[in-house]
A and B are shown apart, each in its own frame.
Chain A
Amino acid sequence: MKLIKILLLSIIGIMSANLSAHAVIEIDITRGNVQPLPIAIMNLAGSADEITSSGSVMDIGAQISRVITADLERSGLFSAIDPRAFINSANATAAPQFANWRAVGAQALVTGTAVLEEDGRVRVEFRLWDVLGTTQMTGLRYFTAPRNWRRIAHLISDAIYKRLTGEDGYFDTRIVYISESGPYLERIKRLAIMDQDGFNHKFLTDGSYMILNPRFSPTSQEITYLSFYNDTPRVYLFNIDTGKSEMLGEFDGMTFAPRFSPDGKKVIMSKAERGNSDIFVMELATRRIEQLTNHSAIDTSPSFSPFGRYVAFNSDRGGTQQLYVMDSNGENVNRISFGNGRYATPVWSPRGDLIAFTKQTGGKFYIGVMRPDGSGERILTESYFEEGPTWSPNGRVLMYYRKYPYDNRGGGGETQLWSIDLTGYNERQVITPLDGSDPAWSPLMD
């Protein structure tokens, strides 16, 4: 009898729960407004009385904040709120008054401090806050020599970017490029390096011989490039730390368009001989060379896929210059571009999802992207002449160079570095001391 009672009560309980459960509305949100995230970046608090070789700690804190602001704004994904709109200059060691930050439209907030340590280093701390969620999203602390404050700013920018976008940042990186100066017929081309925001600029060669096609190693502080040293075009390897360079092999013909493999252990390049050009790969440790293409057409501009399994290149074997993808051993060559015009310089994205390229049609040049199978071609930018796309290490931004036409009075002809993100809207000039061409983006620094 007891069993029956329990059974009955259980069934009635289940039924009544079922009947009384309230209905719930379920809504699909499928539209939104992709806009830069409003972020408030406070000056890192520091003492004006603590003086270092790079100025007072208060100045260092303010400068770090300015660099972070510039980094994030340049990405196009963030919109920094004007500090003049801040309601309160919060004490960096206390929890923010979130209502005040919400009132000025901030959805994220950066606060922090800079303090001079007894050993002469600077301790830099920052916190990233979710204003609407009233929580701390991340907080990190760095110790460094005061002169490295700019690098710390880039590291903080990367940490904020990663926490808010889910992708690695690209601010703690460098750009190597060809600095150009002088008249058209006597152009001086020097290898130069700078931070991705144009600061800490340095020339690596003196301009006594021409340099072209610099490419960063994805794993080390090494650059490969084409040099006309002794009027013989050859591919070289240059160590940034030591300043030493070495030639990569002796060939009968001319070698050009070098690029590292993703593991940094090989260099793939073109070799031209008797009017024909094919693709070769060299293992750096053994200097063993393997020929990947053997075709009467011109095959050039090879680029490895992120895991080194495929190689994209351009060739005129189909009658016009188009893009092709083959296995890294040279087999299974497939054409991937079929649009009008000529396609050149394919560069595989570090994320592997896209291949950037240069296209020439109708008297103009275009920089675009397509999927590795050739689908989804999208033009990002166009001009009189633009070439040499290079990817940021997170595969979200492209840098390239643009050349302006000469005018009748002998003016014009400038070359400039530009960057654009994958949306195609955030296009910005990268300021260089002289003209610039052929940029190559470094991986994130260690």
Chain B
Amino acid sequence: MKTPIIISVIFHCGVLTFASMDIPWFDSSDVRPMEIIPIEMVDISEVTKLQEIAKLPEPDQEKPEPPKRPERRAEMPPPPPRMQSSMPLPDSANQPAAKPKAPVKRAQAPTISERAKPKPPSRFSADRVAALLNKIPEEQSATDRLAERFAKQEQQMTSLDVRRQTMSISAAIQKKIEDQCWNPPSGALDAGSLKVKVYMYLTLDGELTRAQVEDHTRMNGPLKVAADSALRAVRMCAPYSDLKLPKNMYDQWREVIMNFDPSGMIS
């Protein structure tokens, strides 16, 4: 009796899994007539004006405002350098003047302080302190609720909208990196074949939280130099707030993979 149940459960779960992976031969939409997509030749700058394309209904009044932008990176104290050389720095170098703040905390700190704005109590009140403390999780969850709401809005968009916006986001990031920041290494032998994959992680405000190269630790020689150049490009272009990436699509661009390929430029 048990065996048929197990087989049935596995079979059904398998069907559901395939369905969730959007296998084309299970999709009856294939046989529908193709939608005619009008193509308009536009200037690239128009395509990358994401704030206009991604215009969404104004958020409800009772819903919380998005958190304030964090301070600019250049104003922050520098992070402590990681020593990787065989010649270590003297002790003084290992003690940076100030510890850097985590980007997420920077984004939340002003929101909390502004919203709480507790009037100075005339005398100590345990209830007031408790109420103040209780506000912290509420404020923290406000950002999450915002992201959730954006995710819901994203779900309401048609697949065509999503695809178009994703392409616009890609084009905007690509244009910024290619036009302003990437200086490919040209000195190495076979420099054109030095391809590097970089993972870039962004906050909702377009701040760069982390950039890493695939297999960076195993790289050496010209490939390491190519990886350094790709990382420099991603860091130099940060922050990406000027691109005004659509926040309702944050789930799409909070992690971006970039394939740096100089083969078309350097023979």
Q: Given A25-B170, A28-B261, A32-B233, is A127 in contact with B87 using a C-beta cutoff of 8 Å?
A: yes
Interface string of A67-102 (1 = CB under 8 A from B): 000000000010000000000000001111111001
Q: Which of A97, A127, A136, A395 contacts B78 (CB 8 A)?
A: A97
Contacts of B182 in A (CB 8 A): 29, 31-33
A34 and B255 contact, CB distance less than 8 A = no
Is there contact, CB below 8 Å, between B266 and A25?
Answer: no
Binary contact readout B207-247 vs A (1 if CB under 8 angstroms, 0 otherwise): 00000000000000111111010111101100000000000
- Are B261 and A29 in contact, CB atoms less than 8 angstroms apart? yes
**A29-B258, A164-B225 known; A139-B74 Cβ under 8 A:** no
Chain B residues whose CB sits within 8 angstroms of the CB of A396 once the complex forms: 187
- A395 contacts across to B, CB distance below 8 A: 189
How far apart are B128's CB and chain A's nearest CB, in angstroms?
39
Instruction: Report B40 CB to chain A, min CB distance, Å.
Output: 23
CB distance from A227 to the nearest CB of B (A): 36
Chain A binding surface, main DSSP class: mixed
Contact of B76 with A by CB under 8 A:
yes
- Contact: B10 with A22, CB < 8 Å? no
> Is B66 engaged at the interface, CB distance under 8 Å to the other chain?
no
**Chain A nearest Cβ from B147, distance in angstroms:** 11
Judged by a CB distance under 8 angstroms, whether B21 is at the interface is: yes
Known: A15-B13, A166-B188. A29 touches B6 (CB 8 A): no
The listed residue (A15, A25, A28, A133) touching B235 by CB distance below 8 A is A133
B79 interfacial contact with A, CB 8 Å: yes
A30 interface neighbour in B96, B228, B235, B265, Cβ under 8 Å: B265
CB contacts under 8 Å to B, within A219-261, are none
Contact status B258-A139, CB under 8 Å: no
Check A22/B85 contact, CB under 8 A, given A7-B6, A33-B183: no
A13-56 near B? 1/0 per residue, CB < 8 Å = 01100110011111111111111010000000000000000000
Q: How large is the interface on A (under 10, 10 to 19, 20 to 34, 35 or more residues)?
A: 35 or more
Contacts of A94 in B (CB 8 A): 92-93
Roughly how many angstroms separate A139 CA and B77 CA in the complex, as a whole number?
Answer: 24
Least CB distance, A354 to chain B, in whole angstroms: 10
Chain B residues lying within 8 Å of A166, measured Cβ to Cβ, are: 185, 187-188, 221-226
Name the segment of B30-38, B46-54, B105-113, B172-180 touching the other chain: B172-180
A103 touches B74 (CB 8 A): yes
CB pair B259–A139 under 8 Å, yes or no, is: no
Residues of A within 8 A of B (CB): 1, 3-4, 7-8, 11-12, 14-15, 18-19, 22-35, 37, 77, 93-99, 102-103, 107, 125, 127, 129-130, 132-141, 163-167, 351, 353, 376, 395-396, 423
Would you mind naming 22 contact pairs between A and B with Cβ atoms under 8 Å apart?
A8-B13, A22-B255, A23-B251, A24-B256, A26-B256, A27-B257, A31-B182, A31-B265, A37-B183, A93-B92, A94-B93, A99-B76, A102-B74, A125-B87, A127-B89, A133-B231, A134-B78, A135-B82, A137-B228, A166-B223, A167-B189, A167-B222
